[in-house]
Structure 1
């Protein structure tokens, strides 16, 4: 099986798993992944993660032109911004409308510089700090501008009233990081007002230093 055929199958398989576990519903969410020659495979606009056809995934060339498959997600500006600013660190990007993450984005007490409280070491290890970006209309090119404004310093952002976006070295890593983001958001909501014992600053720094995490 060629690299492209294998990646097409992997995108559809992982998207279906995301859908079946209720992490995004209907025709929401989008995925992109980069081939070794720089082309991108992208989930089409209006498609459901539960019923993707590998042959109909959008194929985008190095100039951003659609060269095969259906029209890509309208959220291409945010995907392009991560690829442009993160370089080789970004081999895949996942954007969902996962419930707990969206809920966290709407609470006034959420820290816009780091939306996830230090409840476990795993969100730190997989995500670093997650930046809260303001609300933009879905598909607005301004989302891409806001991500570019971070200058590649964040691998994950949370779009207010919209949902999380995670970039990682490959699709598997991006999906795992997205799952960790949603699970930590769920923990944050479950323990809100209960004064949970969080990791201390010293414990956070130990994780950051030990695993060489980006923490700017």
Structure 2
């Protein structure tokens, strides 16, 4: 895909996420790694609903701004995911309501923020880690992401929002949507003792679809 097409896709999918209420105001950011090792990222204080392809931030392979507007303050977050998820070519970070709410609940397991509720959650997201709160843009969040050792493609930032890495931008967006809907299901079913997928069902999904999940079991 040409860089021009990547720019257009970032703006198209960003607008779709914004128009469906998945990230309000100027919150949220998207990046895509390019073939030359550099990457495109949405600018700081930009609404995903009104991005200009020509003004996206173009960073070189060392993370320095090469062209476009100043990049999002969350560059350290994106950088850490690219460094630890070698297959990642895109990162999406939103402030989607249900995922943020989930990140604030006291019972959440940092190694598996959501139980295995549906097949598509596991297929799209795997397990989701929860990292502690850091102020937006704090470089220390990169150390927290690196501490996950690349085992997770989806992560919740406590009291902040979800971030997802994918092999393509479309895959990252689909995974983000699945994470948000699963968080919504969890909140709807909280306290109702729902049935989750069994270990045998999870093993079948892993075998059939080649899933590699972090070692963690829900009873």
Give the TM-score, by structure 2 length. Answer: 0.96
Which residue of 2 is the match for residue 30 of structure 1?
A: 29
Secondary structure, aligned partner of 2:135: coil
Secondary structure, aligned partner of 1:135: coil
Are 2:126 and 1:110 aligned? no
Report how far residue 185 of structure 1 moved. 0.2
Secondary structure, aligned partner of 1:172: helix
> Over residues 42-97 of structure 1, what are the superposed CA-to-partner deviations in whole Å (9 max), with x where a residue is unaligned?
0000000111000000000011110000000000001000111112x100000000
Which residue of 2 is the match for residue 175 of structure 1?
A: 173
Report how far residue 27 of structure 1 moved. 0.2
Give the ranges of 4+ consecutive aligned residues of structure 1 lying more than 3 Å apart after TM superposition.
none
Give the TM-score, by structure 1 length. Answer: 0.97
Secondary structure, aligned partner of 2:45: coil
Show the 5 A alignment for 1:48-127: 48-87=47-86, 89-127=87-125
Are 2:19 and 1:12 aligned? no
How many Å separate the matches in 1 of 2:8 and 2:114?
A: 32
Structure 2: 5+ residue runs without aligned partners?
Answer: 215-219
Asked whether the equivalents of residues 101 and 164 of structure 1 are also in contact (C-alpha less than 8 Å), the reply is yes
How many Å separate the matches in 2 of 1:63 and 1:118?
A: 38
Which residue of 2 is the match for residue 40 of structure 1?
A: 39
How many Å separate the matches in 2 of 1:209 and 1:142?
A: 36
Secondary structure, aligned partner of 1:132: strand
How many Å separate the matches in 2 of 1:17 and 1:184?
A: 19
Report how far residue 123 of structure 1 moved. 0.7
Report how far residue 109 of structure 1 moved. 1.1
How many residue pairs match? The answer is 214
Structure 1: 5+ residue runs without aligned partners?
Answer: none
Asked whether the equivalents of residues 3 and 35 of structure 1 are also in contact (C-alpha less than 8 Å), the reply is no
Which residue of 1 is the match for residue 131 of structure 2?
A: 133
Which residue of 1 is the match for residue 217 of structure 2?
A: none
How many Å separate the matches in 2 of 1:115 and 1:182?
A: 12
Report how far residue 209 of structure 1 moved. 2.2
Secondary structure, aligned partner of 1:165: strand
Secondary structure, aligned partner of 1:67: strand
Range that drifts further, 54-63 or 200-209? 200-209
Are 2:205 and 1:210 aligned? no
How many Å separate the matches in 2 of 1:112 and 1:201?
A: 20
How many Å separate the matches in 2 of 1:205 and 1:78?
A: 31
Asked whether the equivalents of residues 56 and 69 of structure 1 are also in contact (C-alpha less than 8 Å), the reply is yes
Asked whether the equivalents of residues 16 and 50 of structure 1 are also in contact (C-alpha less than 8 Å), the reply is yes
Secondary structure, aligned partner of 2:31: strand
